[in-house]
């Protein structure tokens, strides 16, 4: 079996068997923001959502989804390009009503570029990583706000030789987002 399989299996077991403390909280955050730097010309509207699980201690876990239309620039009429991210993150989070956090993780970084005639249609599913920081502001109610700044980078296999090697790819960008928090 490959190293990828064993890494994925260990990750699933870790998530499955780590019990949540009694004061655990779940935060659902639909967010909107901008992607900037890297191949982005100026800044592009991006939107998505985040589901975070936190406990009484400093550790938490989140799943973050993001979508950016026209990520690589304005396409020719009838063309299309976009970027989709889906990342699992480990969080280090402070207690209190304003919960500051740092977050890092890895997952899917999918790009697609298509011209109007359908002659060019390039889609790529790659590993990606992200790291960032932000704050949850939730009072005594179930609603609040989250602000987040995050760096994304593609991970590549520098030598596709059947071995599991990772290196930083050339695609990287920043995303700043904010959204309404629903606490469960």
Q: CATH assignment of 27-85+98-183?
A: 2.40.160.20
Name the pLDDT band for 64 (thresholds 50, 70, 90).
Answer: very high
Report the mean per-residue pLDDT for the chain. Answer: 84
What's the Cα-to-Cα distance from 23 to each of 19, 57, 95, 183, rounded to whole Å? Answer: 12, 9, 12, 12
Q: What distance in Å separates the CA atoms of residue 65 and residue 175, rounded to the nearest whole number? A: 12
- Residue 170 scores a pLDDT above 90: no
Domain parsing of the chain, residue ranges: 27-85+98-183
Phi, psi of 119 (to 5 degrees): -65, -45
Q: What is the pLDDT of residues 73-127, one digit of tens each?
A: 877 666 788 999 999 999 999 988 899 999 999 999 999 888 766 666 778 888 9
Residues shown for the chain: 184
Q: What distance in Å separates the CA atoms of residue 68 and residue 47, rounded to the nearest whole number? A: 7
Name the pLDDT band for 178 (thresholds 50, 70, 90).
Answer: very high
> In the predicted model, what is the mean pLDDT of residues 138-144?
87
pTM for the model stands at 0.80
Q: What is the pLDDT of residue 19?
A: 46
Q: Cβ(68)–Cβ(92) under 8 Å?
A: no
Q: What is the pLDDT of residues 2-38, one digit of tens each?
A: 566 566 655 654 554 444 444 678 999 999 999 999 8
Q: Cβ(117)–Cβ(146) under 8 Å?
A: no
């Amino acid at each position: 079996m490959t190293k990828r399989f064993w890494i994925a299996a260990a990750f699933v077991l870790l998530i499955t068997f780590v019990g949540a403390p009694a004061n655990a909280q779940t935060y659902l955050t639909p967010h909107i923001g901008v992607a900037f730097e890297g191949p982005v010309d100026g800044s592009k509207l991006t939107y998505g959502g985040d589901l975070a699980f936190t406990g009484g201690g400093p550790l938490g876990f989140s799943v973050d989804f993001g979508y950016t239309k026209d990520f690589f620039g304005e396409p020719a009429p009838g063309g299309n390009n976009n970027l989709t991210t889906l990342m699992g993150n480990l969080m280090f989070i402070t207690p209190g009503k304003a919960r500051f956090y740092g977050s890092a993780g890895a997952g899917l970084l999918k790009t697609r570029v298509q011209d109007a005639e359908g002659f060019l249609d390039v889609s790529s599913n790659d590993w990606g990583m992200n790291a960032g920081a932000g704050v949850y502001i939730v009072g005594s109610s179930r609603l609040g706000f989250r602000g987040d700044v995050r760096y994304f980078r593609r991970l590549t296999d520098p030598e596709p030789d059947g071995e599991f090697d990772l290196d930083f790819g050339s695609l990287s960008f920043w995303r700043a987002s904010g959204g309404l928090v629903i606490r469960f």
